[in-house]
């Protein structure tokens, strides 16, 4: 991306920090030598997000591959030249550093070439994770699945590790989170859930409930403090 990059990495050695440090150091040296720069190239240390199961993996893949589209850099995923997407779905040869073993897990029991095509088709859907459930006819309670992902999202957000577009992949619409029939007493909790668990911006929530954004911001702030007394957490913009 323009000012950051994403990698989904697997290692059996527990040496992720060493690996990322080596990559950034070598790339910084290359850039400094090529353009005559000196000093640090990267402003902050990397932010790790642990992928704990197949659904988390699918969410991470969706976010990383769709990021250039969401940022308006390209209109189709496969048009972005700095991504492994084309090699992942079989449109280019697979480089040595790219593992596709995860495709055998997500699409069990079919040849790799078919799994690549299935994944490519899945990524054309508006909500790839939901489409994945539907594609296999999985007997998965939709709300239970959302709770699992919300839990992961919420924990990651609290350490500042989850961009807003990442959280939006499986989020419910505001009309479901904040229905017109919602009792006034339940509004603070619903606003908190829409903001923290689903990544909606304060201005989006305010527009939906037809209230001033300052009012919604204060409501969210007060409820957040009541849930986490003494916590200095502030949601990151983005």
Contact yes or no for 167/204 (Cβ under 8 A) = no
Q: Is the pLDDT of residue 237 over 50?
A: no
Mean pLDDT of 122-134: 81
Mean pLDDT of 173-197: 89
Q: Look up the pTM and report it.
A: 0.61
Q: Spell out the long-range contacts of 72-78 with Cβ–Cβ below 8 A and sequence spacing 24 or more.
A: 73/1, 77/123
pLDDT in tens, 70-87: 888 999 999 999 999 999
Q: Would you kindly state where each structural domain of the chain is located, as residue ranges?
A: 1-48, 51-170, 172-238
Q: Exposed, middle or buried by CB within 10 Å (0-12, 13-18, 19+), for 181?
A: exposed
Cβ count within 10 A of residue 161: 15
Between 182 and 128, the more confident residue is 182
């Amino acid at each position: 991306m323009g000012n950051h990059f994403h990698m989904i990495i697997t290692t059996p050695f527990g040496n992720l920090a060493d690996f990322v440090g080596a990559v950034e150091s070598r790339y910084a040296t290359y850039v400094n030598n090529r353009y005559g720069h000196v000093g640090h190239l990267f402003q902050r240390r990397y932010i790790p997000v642990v992928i704990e199961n197949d659904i988390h993996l699918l969410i991470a893949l969706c976010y990383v591959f769709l990021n250039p589209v969401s940022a308006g850099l390209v209109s189709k995923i496969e048009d972005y030249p700095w991504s492994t997407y084309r090699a992942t779905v079989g449109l280019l040869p697979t480089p040595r550093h790219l593992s596709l073993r995860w495709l055998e897990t997500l699409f069990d029991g079919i040849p790799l070439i078919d799994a690549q095509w299935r994944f490519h088709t899945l990524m054309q859907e508006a909500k790839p994770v939901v489409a994945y459930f539907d594609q296999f006819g999985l007997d998965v309670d939709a709300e239970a699945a959302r709770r699992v992902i919300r839990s992961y999202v919420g924990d990651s957000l609290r350490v500042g590790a989850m961009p807003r577009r990442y959280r939006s992949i499986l989020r419910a619409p505001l009309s479901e989170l904040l229905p017109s029939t919602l009792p006034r007493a339940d509004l603070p909790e619903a606003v908190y859930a829409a903001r923290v668990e689903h990544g909606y911006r304060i201005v989006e929530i305010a527009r939906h409930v037809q209230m001033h954004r300052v009012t919604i911001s204060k409501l969210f702030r007060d409820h957040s403090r009541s849930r986490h007394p003494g916590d200095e957490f502030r949601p990151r913009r983005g």
